[in-house]
Homo-oligomer: A and B are copies of this chain.
């Protein structure tokens, strides 16, 4: 079992890689370990990498002018996370990406990915499929919450991602679900009694 087993298996769900392809891909990976509360992306710095979570839990969030924070995405094992906007345009990020636990990540740099895509159409294809799926998924998330009450949004998230609910601080979850931390606390109390 190699260091890159998991990330390669992930890619193989979309395209079939031979040894040569796998070698091309793993040669651009940079692996690091991160400590809880460490930032791997910060506003005003360009988000150079897409990050694959080998171990740990992360969240990306945006701090609005009024100083509230808004969680955009959680990522645990086998998920990718980044400030995608910044990554794609190679302009300064507006998000933080923060480790919620100690973890291990594999990162791939924008220019390395672009070169790889140009060299090997299998990767062009992989990144097309992933981008399309991410976009579709993001739209689905928005839809599934439209017109729902705060309580309904929580119940649905809890049903769909029970592990994340347990693993993530409540204020981060509240800010993901678009409600105040206090209100989420009240919802949970109400539900635990019923």
Chain A contacts to B: CB under 8 angstroms? 62, 64-66, 68, 70, 72, 84-85, 88-89, 94-95, 117, 121, 124-125, 127-128, 131-136, 138-140, 142-143, 146-148
Judged by DSSP, the binding face of A is helix
A14 → B minimal CB distance (Å): 12
- Whether the pair B62, A143 counts as a contact (CB closer than 8 A) is yes
- Whether the pair B66, A147 counts as a contact (CB closer than 8 A) is yes
- Report the bound CA distance from A15 to B138 in whole Å: 26
A155 → B minimal CB distance (Å): 14
Picked from B62, B128, B139, the residue with its CB within 8 Å of the CB of A146 is B62
In the complex, residue of chain B having the shortest beta-carbon distance to the beta carbon of A64:
B147
